[in-house]
Structure 1
C-alpha cells in the first residue's frame, strides 16, 4: 500500500469506555473464549443449538449470502451463530468485539492515497508554518527536507497552501508524492530514517502530518469530495497528479459490507482500525454503517482554533507528540487495547488476556498482523501476498485463520513460497528475520494456495 494517515477525534469520542461496560464485555469474552478453547476451534455447537430450537423464538441470526472463497462463508456464519445475540448460552448482553482494517480490507484501494491525490490536485497542502520541512515529520531526512524546500518553498509563504494542482506547482506535487508514495525523493535519496518498524510507518503518518493547518471538519470535507470522485470513477480509472498518473477509483467490497452489517445486527461491537488519517476514515466508514466513534485512525494533536498540528497523538507509554506509535503493526494492538478495551498506560502495548480481546479481526497486510493474532475466535485475511501475514495465516497453527482472495482484482498466485523461515519478519530496526510462532519455533516457508475466487 503506498500510503496512509489520520487526524484526531474530539475528546468526547476518545474518552475511556465506561468501566461497567468494559467489565461486562470482559465477562462475555471470558465465557466465549473458554468455549472456543474447550472445543479446540469454532464448531457447529452454536448453530446446532440454534437449529434445535433452543434460541428464543423471536430472535433470528443474520444469514450471509454473498459469495466467499471455499468454506469461508460457513466459518463466518458459525462466528455469527456462536457469538451473536441469539445464542441462548450467552451469559449476558454485552457485545463481543470485531475489528476490521480498512484499506484493501473493507474497500478496494486506499482511501489515504485517494485523499492525498485529491489534496495535491486541489492545492490543499500547506507549506510548513515555520518554513522547515523537518517539522512535518520527526523522521524526515535532510535530503528529503532539502528536496521539498527546493521544489515547493518558492510557491507560497510559510503556512499558506501550495499550488500543487497548477502547472507552476507540478515539481512540488511530484516531490511530495514521491516522498509519500515511495519513501524516497525524486532523486532516490531515503526520505525517512530512524523509526521503529513495528510501531509506525513515517510515510503513512506523513499524510496526516501534512494536514496541518486545517481543522478536522475541513479534512472531512476534502475526504468526502475525494470519496465522491473515487466512487463515481470507473474501475481501473487513472488521474493526473503532478506530472504523473495515479489510481482514481475505490470500491466497497459487497462481502465486507454485508459481514459488517450482519455482525452489528447480531450484537457485535464493530470497529475500524486503519493507518489512514482519522477524519478521512470516518468519512468512508460511514458508508459501511460504522460511526465515527468506532473508527481508530492516525490522529493529530490540535492547536489554536481546532487546527491540526503535525504532531500525532500517542498510545500506551508513548506521549502525544512523540509521533512513534500510530495504528501500524504493534501500534494497532496498542490503539485497539486503549480505545476499544479501555486498557491504559504501558499495559495497552501488551497482549491482553484472552477474555479481554476481540473475538474477530480482518486485515490484508503485515500492518494488521498483531491485532489479527490477538483475535480469539476467527481471523480473516484478504490475500495481498504480504509475507509475514500470509506466513502466519497459512501456518494456521490453531485453526482460526481463514484466507480469502481479494474480492475485486484478486492477486495472482505467488510463484515462489513465502520466505517464512528466513526473512518474512521485519525487526524493529528493519532487519529481516524468520517468522516465529508464539512458542518460538520457526514457521516453514508457505505455498500460496488461496489466490482466486471460487466458481
Structure 2
C-alpha cells in the first residue's frame, strides 16, 4: 500500500517559534509534491482547521496546521493515496497509563487468574520472583480461578513490586536473561501475560470499567492498590483529540501504535475518534477464545511465549510496517523508503522514538524528560521536530542537559551509547528548552 509522503519544510522551528515566513516556500521531496494553492507564509483556508482552543505551546499549532495543509489531500491530487499519521497512546493522547489503570481495577476486583505456575508466565521471570509470587499469592486457589487480590494485600503488593519495580518485595531481581532492548521489555510483556485466561472482549470490558473510574476521578488524584500508590485518573488531551480529528478530516489515515495490550486500548480509542481497525497494541496469542501467555511476533520473530518483540521502540516500526504497509519478514524492522513511511508521528518516550523519527513530514515530542526522544527532538536534524510540554501537569524543565553524546542511544544489548545522526555524526548534549 503506497502512501505519498512529500518531505516539506513545513515544520521548520524546533519549538515552533520561528521560520513561519519561509516554512512553505520550499518543498524537499522524496516523492512528487502537490502544489499548495497558498501564498508563502499562509495556510490553506479550505483545509480542515485546528481549533484555536485549547492552546498549544508557542506556535506549534500553526506549524502543525502548515503540515496538514501541505501533506493532506486537500493540498492537491494524491492519486487516492492518503498520508499516514501514527500516535502513541499512553501520555501522548491521554494523560497517564491505561494499562496501569486497568491492572489497578482488576486487582481491586479479583480479576487476575491464578497461573499454572508463576514461572510459566514469562521466560525471563527469575526463580526468586517465582518463589516470591508463589509465597505471597499461595497455592490454594486452583489454576485459572481468580486470586483474591481485593483483600489479599500481600499478593497484590508482590504483583505490583514485580511489575512496577522489576524486583521482588525483598529487593531481588524479578527478570533476568538476554533480550533485545530495542524490541521488548520483560516487565511490559509480563503485564500483558497477567491478563491470560480472559477473552479479549472481557479484557476490553474491564478496561471500560477502569476508564469510567479514571475519567471520573479528579485530575491529580491517586489511588491505593494494596499498599502501593498509583495514579488515580486518566484524561484525554483535548489538543490531541482535536489534532487527530483534524488530520482525519484532512484525509490522513490515522493510527494508534501502543505498548499497551490492544484490547485495553480498544476500550479507550473511540474517545479520541479512532476506529478499532486502526489500533496496533501488544497482541497476545489467543487460543480457544482466551488470551494466553504467548505474544504475536513481527518481522522474522515468530509468535512466542516470551514476547521477543513488542510494540516498543524498533518493534513499533516493525508493527507499523507490517500492518499498515504490508512489509514482511526481517525487512519490517528496517527503515523504509519515503513512500512507505508515515508522514507524521507523535510520542512521549523512548518506546516511541523510532517510529516518530521515521516520519517524513513532522514529528511531535510530548516532553516527559525521556532522554532518547528528547535528544532526537532537540537535535532536530531534519527541521521538522516540534516539542510540546505535557498538556496536563507538565514536567519541570530538566536542569542538566540530556547526555546525548554519551548515553543518548540505547543499544540492543542494553548498554547506552552516543546518539548518532544518519550521517554518523554524534548528537551533542541537549538542554531542555521546552517545559
Q: Kindly indicate which of the two structures has a greater share of residues assigned to helix.
A: 1
Once the 2 structures are TM-superposed, how far is the Cα of residue 58 of structure 1 from its aligned partner?
11
- After the TM superposition, which residues 443-454 of structure 1 pair with which residues of structure 2 at under 5 Å, given as runs? 443-451=427-435
User: Where does residue 141 of structure 1 map in the other structure?
Assistant: 126
Find runs of 4+ consecutive structure 1 residues off by over 4 angstroms. Answer: 39-42, 45-48
- Aligned partner of 2:366 among 382, 397, 401: 382
User: Where does residue 439 of structure 1 map in the other structure?
Assistant: 423
Q: Could you say if the C-alpha distance between residues 49 and 347 of structure 1 is closer, same or farther in structure 2, counting changes exceeding 3 Å?
A: closer
Q: Could you say if the C-alpha distance between residues 49 and 318 of structure 1 is closer, same or farther in structure 2, counting changes exceeding 3 Å?
A: closer
- Aligned partner of 2:51 among 64, 67, 72: 64
User: Where does residue 16 of structure 2 map in the other structure?
Assistant: none
Residues of 1 paired with 2:417 and 2:38: CA distance? Answer: 48
User: Where does residue 188 of structure 1 map in the other structure?
Assistant: 171
Once the 2 structures are TM-superposed, how far is the Cα of residue 105 of structure 1 from its aligned partner?
0.4
Residues of 1 paired with 2:37 and 2:240: CA distance? Answer: 24
> SS in structure 1 opposite 2:404?
coil
Residue 239 (structure 2) pairs with residue 255 (structure 1): yes
User: Where does residue 15 of structure 1 map in the other structure?
Assistant: none
Residue 307 (structure 2) pairs with residue 320 (structure 1): no
- Contact kept, 8 Å, 1:301 with 1:310, in 2: the verdict is yes
> SS in structure 2 opposite 1:397?
coil
Residue 113 (structure 2) pairs with residue 120 (structure 1): no
Residues of 2 paired with 1:254 and 1:414: CA distance? Answer: 25
Residue 43 (structure 2) pairs with residue 43 (structure 1): no
Once the 2 structures are TM-superposed, how far is the Cα of residue 124 of structure 1 from its aligned partner?
0.7
Residues of 2 paired with 1:91 and 1:216: CA distance? Answer: 37
> SS in structure 2 opposite 1:239?
strand
- Aligned partner of 2:87 among 100, 110, 114: 100
Q: Could you say if the C-alpha distance between residues 238 and 339 of structure 1 is closer, same or farther in structure 2, counting changes exceeding 3 Å?
A: same
- Contact kept, 8 Å, 1:64 with 1:77, in 2: the verdict is no
Deviation per CA, 1:352-373, whole angstroms, max 9, x where unpaired?
1111100000000011010011
- Segments of 5+ residues of structure 1 without an aligned counterpart are 1-21
Residue 274 (structure 2) pairs with residue 290 (structure 1): yes
- Aligned partner of 1:365 among 344, 349, 367: 349
- Contact kept, 8 Å, 1:329 with 1:371, in 2: the verdict is yes
Residue 280 (structure 2) pairs with residue 331 (structure 1): no
Q: Structure 2 length as normaliser, TM-score?
A: 0.91
User: Where does residue 10 of structure 1 map in the other structure?
Assistant: none
User: Where does residue 78 of structure 1 map in the other structure?
Assistant: 66
Deviation per CA, 1:212-242, whole angstroms, max 9, x where unpaired?
1000000000000000000000111122211
Residues of 2 paired with 1:188 and 1:448: CA distance? Answer: 33
Residues of 2 paired with 1:356 and 1:439: CA distance? Answer: 21
Deviation per CA, 1:143-186, whole angstroms, max 9, x where unpaired?
111111111133511121101001xx110000001111111111
Residues of 2 paired with 1:396 and 1:59: CA distance? Answer: 30
- Contact kept, 8 Å, 2:259 with 2:310, in 1: the verdict is yes
User: Where does residue 263 of structure 2 map in the other structure?
Assistant: 279
> SS in structure 1 opposite 2:138?
helix
- Contact kept, 8 Å, 2:35 with 2:75, in 1: the verdict is no
- Aligned partner of 2:379 among 392, 395, 402: 395
Residues of 2 paired with 1:246 and 1:86: CA distance? Answer: 44
- Aligned partner of 2:212 among 223, 228, 240: 228
Residues of 1 paired with 2:124 and 2:316: CA distance? Answer: 20
Residues of 2 paired with 1:121 and 1:375: CA distance? Answer: 40
Q: Could you say if the C-alpha distance between residues 61 and 238 of structure 1 is closer, same or farther in structure 2, counting changes exceeding 3 Å?
A: closer
Deviation per CA, 1:90-111, whole angstroms, max 9, x where unpaired?
3322210000000000000000
User: Where does residue 160 of structure 1 map in the other structure?
Assistant: 145
Q: Could you say if the C-alpha distance between residues 336 and 138 of structure 1 is closer, same or farther in structure 2, counting changes exceeding 3 Å?
A: same
Residues of 2 paired with 1:49 and 1:326: CA distance? Answer: 39
Q: Could you say if the C-alpha distance between residues 117 and 345 of structure 1 is closer, same or farther in structure 2, counting changes exceeding 3 Å?
A: same
Residues of 2 paired with 1:155 and 1:434: CA distance? Answer: 51
- Segments of 5+ residues of structure 2 without an aligned counterpart are 14-18, 28-33
Once the 2 structures are TM-superposed, how far is the Cα of residue 443 of structure 1 from its aligned partner?
0.9
- Contact kept, 8 Å, 1:62 with 1:265, in 2: the verdict is no
Residue 160 (structure 2) pairs with residue 172 (structure 1): no
Matched positions, count: 414
Once the 2 structures are TM-superposed, how far is the Cα of residue 195 of structure 1 from its aligned partner?
2.0
